[in-house]
Every structure is written in C-alpha cells, then in structure tokens.
Amino acid sequence: MPEVGIKVAVVGGGSTYTPELVDSMCDHEDRMVIDDLVLLDPDEQRRSAVGGLSERILRRRGWAGTLSSTDDPHAALEGADFVVVQLRIGGQAARHGDETLPVGYGCLGQETTGAGGLAKALRTVPTVLELAEETAVRGNPGAWFVDFTNPVGIVTQALLDDGHRAVGLCNVAIWAQRRLGHYLGVDPDGVEVEHVGLNHLTWIRSARTAGSDVDRLPELFDRCGPELELESGVPLAVLRLQEALPSYYVHYYYQHDAEVAQQSVPGHRSRAEVVAELEATLLEQYRDPELVTKPEGLSYRGGAFYSLAAVRLMASLHADTGDVQVVDMRNDGAVPGLPDHAVVETRAVVDASGAHPLPQRPLPPDKLGLVQHAKAYEQLAVRAARSGSRDDVVRALLANPLVGQYPLAADLADALLAANRHYLPRFFPD
C-alpha cells in the first residue's frame, strides 16, 4: 500500500530558514511523505520570495506535493499533521531591543537568555499557545506541534503545561555532534553525545563513537582544545575543570561581566543588526527566478542543522522509528534533582507516541544548582507571559541567574514592558 501523505504547516514560513527546511523534507521521504505543505506568514513580500524559492527547490528535487502560502492561520492549520513553529514576534527590530536594552542596566543583552530572553518569551508564549489551541481544534487528530521558536525551553514548558501534544527542538546538540564528528574524523551520525541540561544551558558530558565505550572528550580537549574553546566561548581550563563541553550559551553565565563589557563598547553591533542585513540580501537572492538551490549565504544565517533536526524529529514521530534524538520534553525522572513536569533538553527515544527521555547520570552540584536556578526562572517566565502581571515579570527577573537583584529587576521590568508595549496586549489591555 502506498504511503499516505501528510500535511505540514510552517508557522513563520516567510523565514529565510524555510528553503533549507523544505530541502531537508525531500531527504526523508523514505519515512515521511508530505503531500501538502503550507507556509504561514503575515508578510506578503516574505511569503512571495521564500515561497517562490521553496517551490523551485521542491520541484527540482522531484517533489510532487502541493505548496501554498497564506496569512490565514485557520486555513494553514486545518487538517495539519505537523505544525512547525519558527516565528519571531516583532522581527529583528524587537530582537535588537532584547540585545541592547539590558546592556544599559549592566546586564547581558541576548535574545534567549537573561532579561532579553524574558522579553522574547513575553511576546512569544501567548501567540504560540493560541496557535496550539487552534491546532488542537483544526489539526488532524494526534497532530504534533514542533516548536523551534526561542526561548525554546520556556515556550515548550508553556505548551506542555497546557497539555498540548508538543516537542521542543534546538540545533545546539546536532551542531555539536557534527563538529565532534569532524574533529574525530568519523561519520557524525555515529557519534553519541551525552547531552543534558535545559535549552541553551546544556553540557556534553561524554562523546563516544559507534561500537566503543571510550569517552573521546578528554582526547579532544588535548588535541582540539583551542578550537573547542573558541566554539564554546569557554576557556579550555574550564572545560577540563568541568570535564564537559558546554553549549555556547553557557558562557553567558560563566563570563557574564566580560560579555557585557564587550557589548558596551561604542560601535558594538548587535546580532540582530547583522542578521537583518543578511536577511535583506538573502530575500533579494530568493526573488531570482533562476535560483533553484539554497544560496551559500544561508549558511551564515545561524541555526546550522536546524532543518535536519526538525525533519528527523517529524519523520521519527510519523514513522514510529524509536531512534534517539536530543529534544526538549518533560523530565519525567530523567534528570535527577528536577521535578517530573520540568522541561529539560536531553536524549530521548522518539516514536509515534512522543519523546521519552532517557535516564541521565546525576549532575554535579555546580551544574545542578545552576540548572535548578534557571528552571525556577523559566517557570516564573511562563507565569508572567500568561498573567500579564508586572509583578510576575519582576519575580521572574529576580529569579533569573543573569539578573537577580533589586531594584534592578523592577527597573528592567518597566523598561522591557515599555519597549515591547505594542506586542504585549495582556500587560496593556487598554
């Protein structure tokens, strides 16, 4: 019997990531045949440019399904089997605020962690929850909600707290796996990484190659120390001290003051400014009717291997594969020291019923303490995004490991709310 095709709706389909996503979909038709792909985005110009290139890539790859784009969420979500969320409320302009406003208060400027990450969560969580509620009503029975929108840990926590059929996803683990495979000179898919923590607060505690029980991290620290130091942002001495390779985002905690000092230098450009320029160039290239492949410049956009991770996740959920992937899901006892309902990011068996976390070794006190601290903040961030209460925003900032002082938390709360007023109707109902 031929494979029954499925419908995938991409929320934020006008993203410059989308051509890479659709290209990856063609690589996994052995496990997941998509016959209806819808790009949902409010920006008509983006829909036209991104949708046009996506269509050309798909036809060149021999894809026989239907691609459409729309600004109507009801039409996009109707009958969907998978909803992939990669939206950005407020675009790069709002991100620029996340990355610059906190710096004036002596705090890290970043779009997923610290005060900027909270601002993004306040803008994002209500919209994503509304989309999930619509998916539950309009999507096919058993539809999956796959979130790649940052801050992934907070957004996924909100989704699962409300009982949605959702899995969170980040590209950090698959990127690290590929870099380690490169340094080891082996097929990266054969590298098993012991990845554990919260989204953007994770460590790789061991790396083993296929058929071996030998941890290769100590060897990599000796042989590729400068490269790993550069890519992680953490001094090699700390990598050796912790006997682990942290994700790049961990250096914002370990070297907060140095990072803020760098961001405070006159003329410092935010990542949002760089990405905005890059996206303008990419969108112009996408409009070229002769372009039928991903342009080389897309590799500089960031989010490397996100598309591969997203499509692999959907394919495993659809085909009931039961393979191991790193995703964001309920802890359910996998990471000792955290409650079952807490969303963690670690290895899981992925099958048709969802992602099932694999038991992890206990974290040592230095890592566990930071993870517990950050998880408390994440739970308060969800509460603030849902309640529309200034007091809840202050509470979340007080619990945030990168803020944690008063009256700083109160001053930052007022500044963030004022800067994002247009995107926060729950806080400003009038």
Alpha-carbon span 235 to 239, nearest angstrom: 7
Model pLDDT, residue 430: 80
Q: Which of 378, 402, 353 has the alpha carbon at shortest distance from 250?
A: 402
72-89 mean pLDDT = 97
Order of all β-strands in the sheet with 201-209: 191-198, 201-209, 245-246
User: Which band of pLDDT confidence, cut at 50, 70 and 90, is reported for residue 1?
Assistant: very low
Q: How far is CA 27 from CA 44, 220, 224, 327, 361, in A?
A: 28, 31, 32, 20, 35
Q: Is the peptide bond before 151 cis (omega within 30 degrees of 0)?
A: yes
Render pLDDT for 20-76 as a digit per residue (tens, 0 to 9).
999 999 999 889 999 999 999 999 999 999 999 999 999 999 999 999 999 999 999
Summarize the confidence of residues 139-166 as an average pLDDT.
Answer: 97
> Does residue 306 have a pLDDT over 90?
no
Q: What are phi and psi of 344, to 5 degrees?
A: -125, 170
Give the tens place of pLDDT for each residue, 227-236: 999 999 999 9
Nearest C-alpha neighbor of 417 from the set 405, 404, 427: 427
Which of 17, 105, 249, 253 is catalytic? The answer is 249
Q: What SS3 string covers the chain? A: CCCCCEEEEEECCCCCCHHHHHHHHHCCCCCCCEEEEEEECCCHHHHHHHHHHHHHHHHHCCCCCEEEEECCHHHHHCCCCEEEECCCCCHHHHHHHHHHHHHHHCCCCCCCCHHHHHHHHHHHHHHHHHHHHHHHHHCCCCCEEEECCCCHHHHHHHHHHCCCCEEECCCHHHHHHHHHHHHHCCCHHHEEEEEEEECCEEEEEEEEECCCCCCCHHHHHHHHHHHHHHHHCCCHHHHHHHCCEECHHHHHHHCHHHHHHHHCCCCCCCHHHHHHHHHHHHHHHHCCCCCCCCCHHHHHCCCCCHHHHHHHHHHHHHHCCCEEEEEEEECCCCCCCCCCCCEEEEEEEEECCEEEECCCCCCCHHHHHHHHHHHHHHHHHHHHHHHCCHHHHHHHHHHCCCCCCCCHHHHHHHHHHHHCHHHCCCCCCC
Report d(CA 353, CA 360) in Å as an integer: 21
C-alpha to C-alpha distances, 177 to 249, 262, 321, nearest whole angstrom? 16, 29, 20
Examine the pLDDT at 346 and tell me if it is beyond 70.
yes
* Strand bridging mode 66-70 / 82-85: unpaired
Among 164, 166, 138, 133, which Cα is nearest to 75's?
A: 138
Rounded to 5°, angle at Cα 142 from 140 and 146: 95
What is the pTM for the complete model shown?
0.96
Check pLDDT > 60 for residue 282.
yes
**How far is residue 280's CA from residue 272's CA, in Å, rounded to a whole number?**
12
In the structure, what pLDDT confidence band is assigned to residue 385 with cuts at 50, 70 and 90? very high
Lowest-confidence region among 93-97, 245-249, 300-304 = 300-304
The tokens for 296 are 């080389």
Alpha-carbon 58 to chain mean position: 25
Give yes or no: 253 in active site.
no
425 upstream amide cis, omega within 30 of 0: no
Q: What angle do CA 283, 77, 146 make, to 5 degrees?
A: 75
Q: How confident is the model at residue 78 (pLDDT cuts 50, 70, 90)?
A: very high
pLDDT at position 3 is 52
pLDDT for res 211? 86
